Structure 1
Amino acid sequence: MSSHVSVYDARISTGDDCISIGPGNSHLWIERVACGPGHGISIGSLGKQEGMAVEAVQNVTVKTTWFTGTTNGLRIKTWGGSKRGFVRGVTFADATMSGVDNPIIIDQRYCPTSGGGGCPGGSSSIRISDVRYVGVRGSSATPVAVSFDCSRSNPCSGIRLQDVALTYRNRPAAARSYCRNARGSTLGLVLPPSCL
Structure 2
Amino acid sequence: MSTMVLMINLTSSSVAFAAPTTFNVVDLGAKGDGRTDSTRAFLRAWESGCASPSSTTIYVPQGRYLLNEVLFTGECKGRVTFKIDGTLVAPSDYRILGTSGKWITFNKVQGVSISGGILDGQGAGLWACKATGKNCPFGARSLEFTYSSEITITGLTSMNSQIFHIVIHDCKNVKLQQVQVTASGNSPNTDGIHVQGSTDVTITQANIKTGDDCISIGPGTTNLWMENINCGPGHGISIGSLGKAANEQGVQNVTVKTATFSGSQNGVRIKTWARPSTGYVKGVLFEDIIINNARNPIIIDQDYCPHNEGCPGQVSGVKISDVVYRNIRGSSGSQVAMKFDCSPKTPCSGIVLNNVDLTYGSKSASSSCINADGSAFGLVHPSSCLAA
Q: TM-score category by the smaller chain?
A: over 0.9
Q: Which runs of 4+ in 1 moved over 4 A?
A: none
1:30-179 equivalences under 5 Å are 30-50=226-246, 53-113=247-307, 116-171=308-363, 174-179=364-369
* 1:8 corresponding residue in structure 2: 204
CA contact (8 A) 1:39 1:72 kept: yes
The structure with the largest strand share of the pair is: 1
TM-score (norm 2): 0.48
Question: What is the alpha-carbon distance in structure 2 between the residues aligned to residue 181 and residue 142 of structure 1?
Answer: 21
Moved more, 142-151 or 54-63: 54-63
* 2:111 corresponding residue in structure 1: none
Question: Structure 2: which 5+ residue stretches go unaligned?
Answer: 1-196
CA contact (8 A) 1:46 1:55 kept: no
Counterpart residue identity of residue 20, structure 1: S
Secondary structure of residue in 2 paired with 1:55: coil
Q: Name the structure, 1 or 2, with higher relative contact order (CA <8 Å, separation 6+).
A: 1
Question: What is the alpha-carbon distance in structure 2 between the residues aligned to residue 129 and residue 118 of structure 1?
Answer: 25
Moved more, 28-37 or 81-90: 81-90
Question: What is the alpha-carbon distance in structure 2 between the residues aligned to residue 54 and residue 141 of structure 1?
Answer: 33
Deviations 1:3-42, CA, capped at 9 Å, x for gaps = 0000000100111000001000000000000000000000
Question: What is the alpha-carbon distance in structure 2 between the residues aligned to residue 111 and residue 95 of structure 1?
Answer: 28
Please identify the structure whose Cα radius of gyration is greater: 2
Corresponding residue pairs, total: 190
Secondary structure of residue in 2 paired with 1:139: strand
Question: What is the alpha-carbon distance in structure 2 between the residues aligned to residue 136 and residue 170 of structure 1?
Answer: 19
Per-residue deviation, 1:119: 3.7
Question: Structure 1: which 5+ residue stretches go unaligned?
Answer: none
The structure with the largest helix share of the pair is: 2
| Percent identical residues | 57
CA distance 1:120–1:46, change in 2 (3 Å):
farther
CA contact (8 A) 1:79 1:120 kept: no
CA distance 1:7–1:170, change in 2 (3 Å):
farther
Per-residue deviation, 1:121: 3.3
